Structures are given as structure tokens and as C-alpha cells.
């Protein structure tokens, strides 16, 4: 089949979002099942792209409107994009199913539209090969995320959304200034051509532009000190949306950061930008783990834990070596699975018991054994215990950090893992050894989804080689810029 069909990854959610009002007239359930149908179709297309890219080993380049890059915009579905587009689609399918029972109070049609646009924005950010198009997709993601955060229409939700809007507004302005500086000095917006011309760039302009772009993306990517919005948004947003934020919205921004960073690795001042990012990433891990330690609300606690894991990924990407990037991608995959599992289970508990405070979790092992089991697998995996998937990616990140010589960063990150173990074991203690309770019947569908994710955690933990191989190829896609440039058919430039 023709690779250009991969453009449906962007087109399908966009068209479907416009069709939601049509289905609204057919009753509330029509919208819900339409959402599931579209995400299932998206998963099918993503699986096809994944199979295509990994069997041929060649990226799919979608050329918009027949204008070859760098004149037109191109989508670059390499090993990384194919893997993450699939993850985005699968997580969206799960959250769409979860939304049936989780979103009842507020209008579902607007929710479905924003949901599809959030999926579209994240897919676009990962697939695009043009730096301004990246900005546009980032804004689609951000604006839908603002709206979805405020979706519950409580005072807390409005407050969380407002913080996110103000920080996100500053961040996107910084990003745009960075794009303006790069365009002003190179005269191109295409990523492949930027990489080709990067060596000719003035080091000071490159340093300032790159730093501004990283600060801009750091808001979406939840890096300290620009992540103050994140725990509030996670706490106040609808439960299915929290799954999406943690599993792929952050990942898209992190990927964009890594991609732009490695495009410009020939620039002289590159090392100083890396050092800035390493300091930010290490601080993110330490601050978030310490903040999680004193949380009473379980959803907020897991939100801080999620931010800390993001810091680890950013640290891996900032090392500037192949080993670091591979480990970072591997951790992204593992973290997406584990945090989707945790937020799904915690959200389900919060819906059933009416709140996510720690007291509500006492005796959960007796009341909702399946959900309690899912939370336990997720918690143990996040700490990084052997035979669970996160162990392998954490250890690879630590080893890569030590190899580059940042012993202090590795020590700080490892000590933060100890803190992490403390609060997760406190949660597990409350679930299994405290409180009494009657058995509550659990939903079959959500139970099956949680079991599937938990099984995935354990299978990757016992046989990490297959996924590690995928992550290694995806990491190569980010790190090896010469190959990236060669893959994009640049019209008449440098050839």
C-alpha cells in the first residue's frame, strides 16, 4: 500500500472531531461509541504504519500537497514516530473505553471533540518534520489540554487550568521567539534542512534560540521550574484525561525537545544547552519526589511521581550519547504503560468511592481486589524492582549517566528513587494491611484493560529484549541526524 495513506493518522481524528456534533443528535451513547470507533480505527492505522516501518526499516515520508520538502511540509514517520503513534492510539482507545463510565456529569459531545483533538495534536507533534508545524500541533495539544483541564467546571479545575494557560502562553511565546531566531539565521523551517545548515549558524544565536525553544517546550514537558501547573492539572482534570496527559502529551513535548536538540548537535555552543537541560532534569526528579512524599491525595501523589519519571527521561536525553537516548526512549515506553495503568486504576477507584484521598484507599485490597492488584503492580514497577519493566530502563539511564561522567546526577536520581519507594510502600500498606470493607463489584471491561496493562508490565520485565530492540531503533532515529537528513528527500538542496 502507498505510504501516503499514513496521513490518515492526522486526517482521521480531525474529520471525526468535526463529525461529533452530527452524532450528538442521535443521543449521548452514540457519541461515546463513535469515540471508541474512531480511536479503534486510529489504532488500526497506527498498527499498519508500525508494521510497515519496522519490517522495511525505512521511514514513511508523507509529503503534503505534492510540494517536496523543504518547500512543503513533510511528516516523518520513522522508527520513533511509528512506535509512539501506536502507543498514543492504544492509550486513546483505552481512555475512550474508560470515558464511558468516567464522564457523566458534563456534556459529552464537547468532551469527545476535545479528546480527538488532543490525540491529533500529540500525533502531529511526533510525526511532523517542520519546526513551525510542530508549534501549531503543540498549540492544538495545549489549547485542548487547557479546555479539558477546566472540564469539570469546579473552582479547583478552573484554577488549575488558569495556571496552565498562563505558563503555557509564556512557553509558547518563548518557543516562537526561538523559531524566529532560527528562521532568521538559517532561512528555513524544515528540520532536515536545519540539521544540514546548522554548522553554518552563529553559535550565540543558536545557543539563545535553542535555549528559548527548550524553555518553551519545558512547560509542556513538565520540567522544573516550569511544572507548577502539572500536579494541579492532574488532580483537577477528568480521570481519563489524566491518563492521556501522563501517557503521551508529556512524551510528545519531550520528543520534540530531543529532536530539535539533536538536530543542532554540530553547533559549537551545544554542550552548554545540554548542561542546562541536565541541571533542570535532575532538579525535576529530586523536587518532584520530595513533593510526592507529603501528599494526602493519591492522584496528586502519582502526578508528582509521573513528573519525576519525566525528569529521568529528560536526563537521559540530555546526555548527548547514543546510549542515553536509547535508554530514554525505552523509559518513555515503559513509563507510558505503567502510568496509564496507575492513573486508570486510581481514577477508577476515585469514581467508585468518590474521591482519591489516601483514607479512601484503606482496605482496598478487600473491597476491590482486582483494582488493588493493578495499583500494586504499577507501584512496584515504578520504583524499579527487578522483573518489572521500569527496572531495565532505569538501570540503563543510570549506567548511561555514569558513562558520561555525571556521577552527581546519577547519585541524586538514585536517592530520589529511595524516596519514591517510601511513599509507594505507604500506599501499598494502606491498600493491603489497613481498614476493613465490603466487596464492591468491579467493571469487567476496565478490569480487563488493567489486567492487560499489568501483564504487559510483567512480560516486558521478564523479557525486555524485544522492546529494548524497538527502543534502540527508535533512539537511533533521534540520534543519527545524518541518516535523518538522508531519508528526507530535500528538493535540490545540498544534493
Partner 1 sequence: MISVYYFGAIALILIGLYAILVKKNLLKILIGLSIMETGVNLLLISIGYVSGKSAPILSEGIGPSQAVDPIPQALVLTAIVIGVATTAMALSVAILIYEKYGTLNVEEIRRLRG
Q: Does 147 bind partner 1 (CB under 8 A)?
A: yes
By three-state DSSP, how is residue 75 classified?
strand
Q: Does 356 bind partner 1 (CB under 8 A)?
A: no
Pick the closer one to partner 1 by CB: 188 or 371.
188
Pick the closer one to partner 1 by CB: 21 or 169.
169
Buried b (16+ CB within 10 A) or exposed e, 195-222: bbbbeebeeebbbbbbbbbbbbbbbbbb
Q: Find the shortest distance in angstroms from Cβ 169 to partner 1.
A: 5
Pick the closer one to partner 1 by CB: 355 or 405.
355
* Site map 220..259 versus partner 1, x via CB under 8 A: -----------xx--xx-----------------------
Q: Which of 34, 76, 98, 146 binds partner 1 (CB under 8 A)?
A: 146
- State the Cα–Cα distance between residues 360 and 431, nearest whole angstrom: 9
**Contact yes or no for 309/279 (Cβ under 8 A):** no
Task: Select from 169-177, 311-319, 381-389, 480-488 the region that touches partner 1 (CB under 8 A).
Answer: 169-177
Looking from the CA of 347 toward its CB, the CA atoms found within 13 Å total 30
Task: Select from 40-48, 98-106, 137-145, 367-375 the region that touches partner 1 (CB under 8 A).
Answer: 137-145
Q: Which of 72, 159, 421, 491 binds partner 1 (CB under 8 A)?
A: 159
- State the Cα–Cα distance between residues 373 and 345, nearest whole angstrom: 9
Task: Select from 42-50, 152-160, 351-359, 473-481 the region that touches partner 1 (CB under 8 A).
Answer: 152-160
Pick the closer one to partner 1 by CB: 233 or 478.
233
428 φ, ψ (degrees, to nearest 5):
-65, -40
Residue 394 corresponds to which cell in the numbers above? 532505569
The CB-based long-range contact list for 363-366 (8 Å cut-off, 24+ gap) reads 363/431, 363/434, 363/435, 363/436, 363/437, 364/430, 364/431, 364/432, 364/435, 364/437, 365/431, 365/432, 366/435, 366/436, 366/437, 366/439
Q: Does 491 bind partner 1 (CB under 8 A)?
A: no
**If binding means CB under 8 A, how many residues of this protein chain bind partner 1?**
41
Q: Does 16 bind partner 1 (CB under 8 A)?
A: no
- State the Cα–Cα distance between residues 395 and 400, nearest whole angstrom: 9
- State the Cα–Cα distance between residues 152 and 185, nearest whole angstrom: 45
Place of cell 522495511: 56
By C-alpha distance, which of 324, 442, 346, 318 is closest to 393?
324
287 φ, ψ (degrees, to nearest 5):
-65, -45
3-state SS, one letter per residue, for 204-236: HHHHHHHHHHHHHHHHHCCCCCCCCHHHHHHHH
Q: Find the shortest distance in angstroms from Cβ 198 to partner 1.
A: 18
State the DSSP code for 152.
G
Q: Does 132 bind partner 1 (CB under 8 A)?
A: yes
Q: Does 107 bind partner 1 (CB under 8 A)?
A: no
Pick the closer one to partner 1 by CB: 185 or 322.
185
The helix, strand and coil proportions of the chain, stated in percent and rounded to the nearest 5, come to 80, 5, 15
Pick the closer one to partner 1 by CB: 126 or 138.
138
Which residues within the stretch 293-332 sit at the binding site for partner 1 (CB under 8 A)?
294-297, 300
* Site map 252..291 versus partner 1, x via CB under 8 A: ---------------------------------------x
Pick the closer one to partner 1 by CB: 294 or 439.
294
Q: Find the shortest distance in angstroms from Cβ 187 to partner 1.
A: 8
Q: Does 166 bind partner 1 (CB under 8 A)?
A: yes
Task: Select from 121-129, 132-140, 251-259, 382-390 the region that touches partner 1 (CB under 8 A).
Answer: 132-140
Q: Find the shortest distance in angstroms from Cβ 223 to partner 1.
A: 19
- The contact set with partner 1 (CB under 8 A) reads 132, 136, 139, 142-143, 146-147, 150, 153-156, 158-162, 165-166, 168-170, 172-173, 176-177, 179-180, 183-184, 189, 231-232, 235-236, 291, 294-297, 300
Amino acid at each position: 500500500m502507498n505510504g501516503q495513506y499514513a496521513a490518515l493518522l492526522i486526517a482521521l481524528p480531525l474529520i471525526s472531531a468535526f463529525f461529533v456534533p452530527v452524532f450528538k443528535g442521535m443521543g449521548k451513547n452514540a457519541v461515546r461509541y463513535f469515540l471508541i470507533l474512531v480511536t479503534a480505527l486510529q489504532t488500526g492505522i497506527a498498527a499498519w504504519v508500525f508494521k510497515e516501518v519496522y519490517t522495511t526499516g525505512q521511514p514513511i515520508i508523507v509529503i503534503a500537497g505534492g510540494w517536496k520538502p523543504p518547500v512543503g511540509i513533510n511528516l516523518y514517520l520513522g522508527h520513533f514516530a511509528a512506535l509512539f503513534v501506536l502507543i498514543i492510539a492504544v492509550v486513546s482507545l483505552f481512555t475512550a473505553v474508560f470515558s464511558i463510565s468516567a464522564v457523566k456529569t458534563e456534556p459529552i459531545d464537547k468532551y469527545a471533540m476535545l479528546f480527538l483533538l488532543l490525540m491529533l495534536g500529540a500525533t502531529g507533534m511526533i510525526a511532523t518534520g517542520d519546526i513551525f508545524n510542530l508549534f501549531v500541533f503543540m498549540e492544538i495539544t495545549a489549547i485542548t489540554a487547557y479546555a479539558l483541564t477546566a472540564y469539570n467546571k469546579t473552582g479547583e479545575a478552573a484554577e488549575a487550568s488558569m495556571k496552565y494557560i498562563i505558563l503555557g502562553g509564556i512557553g509558547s511565546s518563548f518557543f516562537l521567539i526561538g523559531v524566529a531566531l532560527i528562521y532568521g539565521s538559517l532561512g528555513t523551517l524544515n528540520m532536515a534542512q536545519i540539521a544540514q545548515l546548522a554548522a553554518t549558524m552563529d553559535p550565540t544565536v543558536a545557543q539563545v534560540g535553542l535555549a528559548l525553544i527548550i524553555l518553551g517546550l519545558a512547560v509542556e514537558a513538565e520540567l522544573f521550574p516550569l511544572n507548577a501547573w502539572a500536579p494541579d492539572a492532574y488532580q483537577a482534570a477528568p480521570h481519563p484525561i489524566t491518563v492521556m496527559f501522563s501517557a503521551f502529551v508529556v512524551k510528545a513535548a519531550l520528543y520534540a525537545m530531543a529532536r530539535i536538540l539533536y538536530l543542532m548537535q554540530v553547533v559549537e555552543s551545544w554542550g552548554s544547552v545540554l548542561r542546562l537541560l541536565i541541571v533542570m532534569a535532575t532538579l525535576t526528579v529530586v523536587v518532584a519526589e520530595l513533593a510526592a512524599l507529603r501528599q494526602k491525595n493519591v492522584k496528586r501523589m502519582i502526578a508528582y511521581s509521573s513528573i519525576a519519571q519525566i525528569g529521568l527521561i529528560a536526563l537521559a536525553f540530555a546526555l548527548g550519547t547514543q546510549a542515553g537516548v536509547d535508554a530514554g526512549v525505552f523509559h518513555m515506553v515503559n513509563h507510558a504503560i505503567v502510568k496509564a495503568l496507575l492513573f486508570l486504576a486510581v481514577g477508577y477507584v476515585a469514581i467508585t468511592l468518590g474521591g482519591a484521598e489516601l483514607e479512601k484507599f484503606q482496605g482496598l485490597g478487600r473491597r476491590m481486589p482486582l483494582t488493588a492488584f493493578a495499583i500494586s503492580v504499577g507501584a512496584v514497577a515504578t520504583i524499579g524492582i527487578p522483573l518489572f519493566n521500569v527496572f531495565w530502563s532505569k538501570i540503563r539511564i543510570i549506567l548511561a549517566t555514569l558513562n558520561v561522567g555525571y556521577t552527581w546526577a546519577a547519585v541524586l536520581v538514585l536517592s530520589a528513587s529511595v524516596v519514591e519507594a517510601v511513599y509507594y510502600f505507604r500506599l501499598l500498606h494502606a491498600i493491603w494491611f489497613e481498614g476493613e470493607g465490603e466487596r464492591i463489584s468491579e467493571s469487567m471491561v476496565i478490569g480487563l484493560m488493567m489486567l492487560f496493562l499489568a501483564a504487559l508490565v510483567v512480560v516486558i520485565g521478564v523479557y525486555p529484549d524485544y522492546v529494548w530492540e524497538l527502543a534502540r531503533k527508535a533512539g537511533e532515529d533521534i540520534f543519527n541526524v545524518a541518516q535523518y537528513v538522508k531519508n528526507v528527500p530535500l528538493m535540490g538542496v545540498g544534493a
